[in-house]
Structure 1
Amino acid sequence: MFQRTEFEGGQAGGSAALSIDSAIPRFGEALRAPVSGAAKGDPGWRDKLAQLDLIVDLGSQIGTKTWWRGTATCALLCGATLLLAPGVKAIPTAAPVMDQTQWDEARAQAITPLAFGGDTGRRMAATEAVEPLANMPERPHIELSATLGRGDAFARVLERAGVAPDEANELATMIGAVVALDDVRPGTVMDIVLGRRPNRTVPRPVDALAFRARFDLKIEVARVDGALRVNPIAIAVDETPMRIRGRVGSSLYRSARAAGAPPSAIQEYLRAIGTQMSVSGDIGANATFDMVVEHRRAETGEVEIGRLLYAGVERGERRTQLLRWSAGGQDQWFEASGVGRSTGSWLMPVPGRISSGFGYRRHPILGYRRMHTGLDIAAGHGTPIRAAAAGTINFSGRNGGYGNYVRINHGNGLQTAYAHMSRIAASNGAHVSQGDVIGYVGSTGLSTGAHLHYEMLRNGRKVDPRSVSFIQQAQLTGDELRRFRATLANLLEIEPGAAMARRENSEGGETAANARSAGASTRS
């Protein structure tokens, strides 16, 4: 809406536009035209009506008399609209009311209400127009399939498929004599053919049964001369392992996947290599990953991927090679030298013999008997000293008769201390991981020669460090070491991608053979 004063000054936009200010006076002149005899200077009611501004801008001049008049006009118009509006109410209709039985029938047969439970499977009842058959013919045989579930019994699966219990048990016994039923994996699908039965009161007999009992064995059962016969069919399997090798690039995982490695093998590879180095920190983009995975391909075309057998990484001249090997009844990763996985929880700080144990002894310098509160480990001068476990260094520096001394807080009230160092390689407050170098063997302080004095503190009290289990590594020797090295050499002789190329060639040969067979049939 507009104020009258906003259009003062005549017309706008040419002769075709007429301002409200110019239109209202003309309307007043039209009203005043018939009036006669009015006193000069005394406007009549028509003049007052013409000058009345009914179009009020409620957004301006708020609080004035004109604004209040416009507000009252707006409220009056809105009230009149509400009073004159027609009422809204529901139109009553006569709807049939269904009982619960009728409602269930309607819901079961409707299209929309699966969400309302319309899955009862009810159907319309037969009317008088339906004539029942006196004798309905049966199909001569029925083809169906059954799946062996986890923890399911073989005979029970056959019974659920419609096989008679006695015949199901007979089949389970016959097949169990050929292959252990426990070797049949859950999820195995059995193709069953049920034959003709003498009457409707007995189950159909089994005419044929076929399933894949193992990756290398198929079982077929057929009824011959009225008796069931089991026919085991061996399937040739190529068990050449699959070797995958490539450049790490920006992501080891993505590069290995692009090279054809299965995700499970990559996860095993990362865990194995992670025991030797930091995968993210020590393996650069130019490094080469190398893995060998169990791979089986049946002559029927199926492929089975097994465990990771070998994990290697090459970083320039440095090469890490790990082979899965069974030692002590357990599989673990051994280095190419025959050193196996570490066991235990605490690392021996330096390699060497214990020259003096925990307990009372005569001090070699002071000359009197007193408590020796740690272990003396003989080692060459400059041998790296490693943290026995992860923790935070809470002392690093000179400490009286201990000489150069480092103490690590491992949490839960446990601390370890390392004394007589020739040089300290860790600063106070630093966090160290197990195996990090914190210093080097020396003979500072009250010491008669190069060695490490190693202490352990529990809740501030010094205890025998041998009360905890130190990490030990399995070592292969003799004939087992020779077999280990021969196996490693055989795996490294496998050409990368040879298994996949053999599979592609085999599939291509099968396709070509099928094509030649089809062509021969066409020509004949």
Structure 2
Amino acid sequence: MRAALRQQLADDWRALRARAALGELAVDLGHDIGSRQWWYGAVGCTGLIAMALALGSRVEPIRTIAPPALTPAQHDLARINAIGPLARGGVTGAVPRANPRMLAPLAEAPERPRLELSAEVGGAGFAAALRRSGVSASDMGAVNSLLRGVADTGRLARGTDIDLVLGRRESRSVPRPLDRLAFRAAFDLRVELTRVDGALTLKRVPIAVDSTPLRVTGSVGGNLQRALRSAGIPARLVGDFTRIMGYVVDFQRGVGKADRFDIIVEQDRAETGEVRHGSLLFASLARRGKAPIEVGRLMQGGHAEYFKSDGEGARRGLMKTPVDGARLTSGFGMRFHPLLSYSRMHQGVDFGAPHGAPIMAAASGNVSFAGRHGGHGNYIQLRHTKELVTAYAHLSRFAVKNGQRVVQGQVIGYVGSTGMSTGPHLHYEVWLRGRPANPVSLKFIGGSQLTGRALNQFMAQMNRWRAVPATGSAPAATRIASGFAPDSANAADKRRGRA
């Protein structure tokens, strides 16, 4: 019996070793349940569990002591080494605390060896800007002496940028020396002053300027002023164009939507990118089915005058349209009054225009009346000669006063709707020898006529302007850092002697 049991155990051991060699020591307790092999596996598993429980019960647990809660002071110190979100007020990094025993008071705070400043010319002028920046009186005197004859600092516009560098000084009781000063003195000139061997020296930095005139052409469309502004022409030059052409063209009946405008203006383009526009040189309207009208500028005796292409002066006795961009809404003669509801004589013409549009004097003269005048509302009357008087009614406000002398094209008031009026417009009257006259059909003798050498010079100039190439639109004028107005002329223009 025992021999059979030993033989069985020996066989089982050999089988177990064989299975171990094949990697099949694990017994699947879900297979052949109740078999002898299964019971071997169950006994082995139970023994392993019992051994694990016996050994685990003898292991001592690791006991820890919970740290005490931090005090507020300890919490603040711990935050130094912590990383917290800034959105929740987290502050990281240690803040050093000064040790009073290791500190020595300074007699005065140390200064920077040099200061680089940027000043701007204000209403008080160039000298005040330097004084506010800390430039000493002696240095200001040296600057003025060096700039004399080079740049007129008294004419620098507001907003002119000034770059300064103030050097090291011996003590706080004396001002810092001026080491460097630079600013834009003109559209074509920058000035730099630097200290060399203890003295200020001047350096001129010329700025190249292309003065090719600008020519823009386009279609008039529904509104000439709007077309010019859409082409990039500045508002000032648009006003000059309509005012000059108003002497020779009836804008109410002589200009159509299909007509084309042609304008040439002075333009300076600096190499630094700034652009400015000067005066109107040439104006033209090409009308469908009619001869084109051209007007050019000619300098005579230091004054600019405008002439038609044949040399006849553009200015006539009266401007045909005393309001820029206005349209004729009511003619001269008998009409049905919209407010009185009956027909009566309309002693002038009405021009529809936006409220506040400037009204110009049709000719030079004296203001004989400026005030309230019954149904005319705010009313201005200009006496030009003993026989000629013009009147302007329904104004919103005045720009002149009684007895004042005005010149042709000067703004005298603004469009309104005062008095008996149905909306903003200008009622314009012309009185000739004490009787009302139709301003539209009134004929006057033309201006002066060029002859001889002046006529030849003007014709040659007109040909040069006609040869100027046209561009699609005008570039926007730029306000340069010096603060000079981009549409104004400077001394360099006068030195060039442009026509």
Relative to the length of structure 1, the TM-score reads 0.47
Identify the structure with the greater helix proportion.
1
Relative to the length of structure 2, the TM-score reads 0.49
Instruction: Specify which structure has the bigger relative contact order, considering alpha-carbon pairs within 8 angstroms and separated by 6 or more residues.
Output: 2
